[in-house]
Chain A
Amino acid sequence: MTSLRYEVADRRKAAAADFWLRWEVLLLVLLGIVMLVNSRLSPWFLDYYNLLDSTFNFSEKAIMALSMTLIIVTRDIDLSVASIIALASVFMGLAAQAGAGVPLLVLIGLATGLLAGFANGAIITRFQIPAIVVTIGTMSLFRGIAYVVLGDTAITSYPAGFSWFGQSYLVWSIPFEFVLFLVLAAVFGFVLHFTTTGRRIYAIGNNPVAARFSGIPVDRYRLVLFTLNGLMAGLAAVLLTSRIGSTRPNIAAGWELEVITMVVLGGVSIMGGSGTISGVFIAVFVLGMMTFGLSLMNVPGIVMSVFVGVLLIASIAVPILIRRMLRR
């Protein structure tokens, strides 16, 4: 495979084709098409309030996609994030039943996520087991605990103020969740693209052995990233639980794949070592706007996932084909 890894060496002269074939640019074109088509097909699409409200549907997943980007850049994967949400939500629910206040609930949600992520990272790095194996295991484990605790019941006794995180708006009717995503995206983008830490994350993804020999504590980085990913899942759990005010063991079912879809569509190579936060950022909107547009036309969810699948395959295949044609 002739992979275009993140360039560390000298800069080539930028050609026009380089710009137009950049993943982010292609995604932007795609986003433009999605917006245009949707606004043509539904009179309700291009409405300030509707668009902002639609961000509720993807903000939590988008926040998880940010840390998942780092995980995938280092050649790892974490399939347990949705189950971590379930686990964190269950613990928050139990605490709420016991009468915990809002700050404590948030703390418990975040701490559960952090610990679950740390457990993932510790098992992976300590025993050198591939991340996919470990997180498939914890995916069943964490959700299993949620099912054991709750069975077919639900916890709904959350204090009144708790709904603020998932349901409130800041200025100009912008949901708090969405603002939080924007801020976090900026932070993640800065760390990955403008700091030594970010550089090292790419180095690990490109070649973990070489990175190790260059003095990068690879396993410590991976441990921290998995813990961070767990923390983000804990944050998503706080937001989601607050938004729907209820905990069920099947909460956020299937979200791990939706998060990974965002990351992969964002141009992050599943082989590690390449991809940008800005790509993932735009991909979040491509997917979010597409599903919102489809849902405005009342397209059934099953058909929607067909669209997403086609989009994912096409968006990855088309640039490869174009590059191949250009090279000839």
Chain B
Amino acid sequence: MRRLSSAVFRVAAAFLVATITVCGAASISQAQDKVRIAFLVKNLGNRFFDAVRDGGTEAAKELGNVEIIYVGPTSATAEGQIEIINSLMAQRVNAIAISANDTNALIPATKRAMDRGIKVVSFDSAIASEGRIIQVDPSETKLIGAKQVQMMADAMGGEGEFAILSAASTMTNQNNWIAAMKEELKDPKYAKMKLVTTAYGDDQSDKSYRETLGLFKSYPNLKGIISPTSIGIVAAAKAVTDQNLVGKVYVTGLGLPSEMKAAVEAGATKSFAIWNPIDLGYTTTQIAYNLIKGTVKGVPGDEVPAGRMGKVKVGPDGVVVMAEPFTFDKSNVAEYAKVF
């Protein structure tokens, strides 16, 4: 047995060496003339990121000679993304655009990639500044807050009582947006609008629904609800429809077209917004392309040409902020509902 297993080892070693040398001779570096940009997302099977990829593909077609690689780990972990970064490095892609599962854990890997001349940008969920060249934010807090107040004003005719239905009271995102809404409300043009209360649905459909019914009871003159969460807005719109309050109470906020299509068609929601993942993918691809071609360095103050998005400006810390959230209403919700 022992003699056999040592024989096995010898065969093993010989086999490995033979395979490597034989195949290694038929060597590698075929000239890759295409510019390859990889989108590494948090995890696959997420429609938001699928839409980001579609935006990337659109930009790639416009630029010509650009290939988009779309990859992501099975579960949303940093280790999974690092494995993929290693394989992208091995493939010598020209740029990697990442929506990171961990702000810091990817830095050693992306630094290595950048050392080898690969341009690393992050989008949506950022990598800390030393691990990437540019971060593309889909929007910023102030714009997100202001947009929702504007939509509310539009739906309720600029006057009356309205409420906010948020997620959990501890959520940083929502709290920042609500603070921004209150800031926007100070503008004299909203003088006739009154924010009566903020309710919390904890991002659970049933709780959000019950909280909405509670709002109807407590505030009979309620004319509108802003829900800055994709779960709350669906529940609130459903409550409006179920209680036959369509036309009396309007719901707006942040939601996904695919989930809000019914509410818009029923009339419970006039318009709602979300950052546009297609534009996000489009802009990110344009920026990565410009970095690869060397037209910009990506330092703060640079203006990067980004096709139909015009020029985008690199801000402090290498952050690019895109425009205000994209608005959806009857005219376009059905079309986008197919996308995300």
Contact = CB atoms under 8 A, between A and B. Distances in A.
Interface of A: 7, 11, 14, 18-19, 22, 24-25, 28, 31-32, 35-36, 39, 42-44, 46-48, 50-51, 53-54, 56-57, 154, 156, 163, 167, 193, 240, 243-246, 248, 250-254, 276, 278, 282, 291-292, 295-296, 298, 300-302, 304-305
Given A11-B1, A56-B86, A296-B91, A24 B75 contact: no
Contacts of A42: 91
Contacts of B24: 46, 48
B82 A300 contact: no
Nearest to A252: B79
A243 B108 contact: yes
Residue with the highest number of chain B CB atoms closer than 10 Å, among A46, A154, A251: A46
Contact of A44 (B7, B26, B28, B80): B28
A69 B46 CA distance: 37
Contacts of B321: none
A248 B86 contact: no
B55 interface: no
A54 B90 contact: yes
B90 A22 contact: no
Contact of A301 (B70, B80, B86): B80
Interface in B66-118: 69-75, 77-80, 82-84, 86-87, 89-92, 102-109
A300 B90 contact: no
Nearest to B12: A28
Contacts of B87: 54, 292, 295-296, 298
For chain B, what secondary structure do more than half of its interface residues adopt (helix, strand, loop), or is it mixed?
Answer: helix
A242 to B, nearest CB: 9
A301 B74 contact: yes
24 contacts: A22-B4, A24-B8, A24-B12, A28-B11, A32-B19, A44-B91, A46-B20, A53-B89, A154-B104, A156-B103, A156-B104, A240-B79, A243-B108, A244-B105, A251-B77, A251-B79, A253-B75, A254-B75, A276-B5, A292-B90, A296-B90, A298-B70, A301-B44, A302-B74
B45 A295 contact: no
A42 B71 CA distance: 17
Interface in B1-34: 1-2, 4-5, 7-9, 11-12, 15-16, 19-20, 23-24, 26, 28-30
A32 B22 CA distance: 12
Contact of A300 (B15, B72, B83, B91): B72
A43 B82 CA distance: 21
For chain A, what secondary structure do more than half of its interface residues adopt (helix, strand, loop), or is it mixed?
Answer: helix
Contact of B72 (A44, A276, A278, A301): A301
Interface of B: 1-2, 4-5, 7-9, 11-12, 15-16, 19-20, 23-24, 26, 28-30, 38, 44-45, 69-75, 77-80, 82-84, 86-87, 89-92, 102-109
B72 A28 contact: no
A221 B86 CA distance: 40
Contacts, number: 134
Residue with the highest number of chain A CB atoms closer than 10 Å, among B4, B30, B45: B4
B132 to A, nearest CB: 15
A245 B105 CA distance: 6
B78 A246 contact: yes
A43 B30 contact: yes
A101 to B, nearest CB: 20
Contacts of B83: 57, 291, 295
Contacts of B4: 14, 18-19, 22
Contacts of A298: 38, 69-71, 87
B105 A154 contact: yes
A278 B5 CA distance: 8
Residue with the highest number of chain B CB atoms closer than 10 Å, among A25, A47, A296, A301: A301
B278 to A, nearest CB: 21
A36 B20 CA distance: 9
B90 A44 contact: yes
Given A28-B15, A298-B71, A39 B23 contact: yes
A44 B4 CA distance: 35
A243 B104 CA distance: 12
Contacts of B86: 53-54, 56-57, 295
